[in-house]
Structure 1
Amino acid sequence: MKAVQKILPDSERLIEAAAEHFVVTARSAIAKRGVFYVALAGGSTPKGLYQKLATSPYVEQIDWARVHIFFGDERCVPATHDDSNFKMARLAMLDHLPIPAENVHRMPTESGDAAEVASRYEATIKLVMEDKPFDLVLLGLGPDGHIASLFPELRHLR
């Protein structure tokens, strides 16, 4: 995979470029394999992208019935909690897309036990994707520089 660097003048141009990349990647994967697997980012960074994808002309450019949505990170809070990345994605985008509910695979955070949540979610990903790779993984960047809720000061990441 070739890395491409783009410097854009403002956040609106960044959101448009990201939406266009999302659409191109989705359409390409669907044309090749009949399905598009994407892992969404959490936090506030991707919210503008999600809102943009739920509007015309972007929403009409993807066969949402062939899209499977996963989450690259999540907080161990209920799906209705204000800190839930799923809730943010649902309100910003998912509620406005013609995507089948069974194609949205959220982390089962109800138990609150992070290890159990991760284990169950890993099993879901393997079952749905059958060892196929993600076509697109979105990563947000937190104000302190963290990505995907990975904080370098945490002991278990060393």
Structure 2
Amino acid sequence: MSEEGMRILKEAKCQSLSGRSTLSYKIGCKDDKEVFLCLTGNSGQGIFNKDWISLTQLDSVLAAEEKPITSGRLHEMFKGKSANSSGFVLAVLLSEKLLKISKGNLRHYERLDPTEFNAAIQALMALEPDATQPPPAKTAKKHKKEAP
């Protein structure tokens, strides 16, 4: 899906699942108020799919099975696209507090209650379309230790 007709609600950054790169993404909505996610950048070398992804469709895929959520569960959404995309989307969902890491396995994730996220998105949608965007969320930078 293209950005045409998409209203950008939020632009933010988060760490990749490996922590080796910083990902940039946008959250937007269409006229019908459906919410979408789009990966826009990676400070590392990995390529990714830049299409807009429906959060409704994404939620359906994540809720489809009782098994733990892994990046493999999202591969079907990105068939024929970059293999990095599913892991990058999981990193965004972690950052937005829609997922959490499962106890006992760092590569498994669990869905969280989306109420807080949905309320924040609804508040952004209620703003005038030309309202000033809040600045993107800053990511924590790792500091080098200085020699004594």
Shared fold (TM-score, shorter chain, > 0.5): no
Name which structure has the greater RCO, CA cutoff 8 Å, separation 6+. Answer: 1
Calculate the TM-score normalised by the size of structure 2: 0.29
Q: Counting helix residues as a fraction of each chain, which structure ranks higher?
A: 1
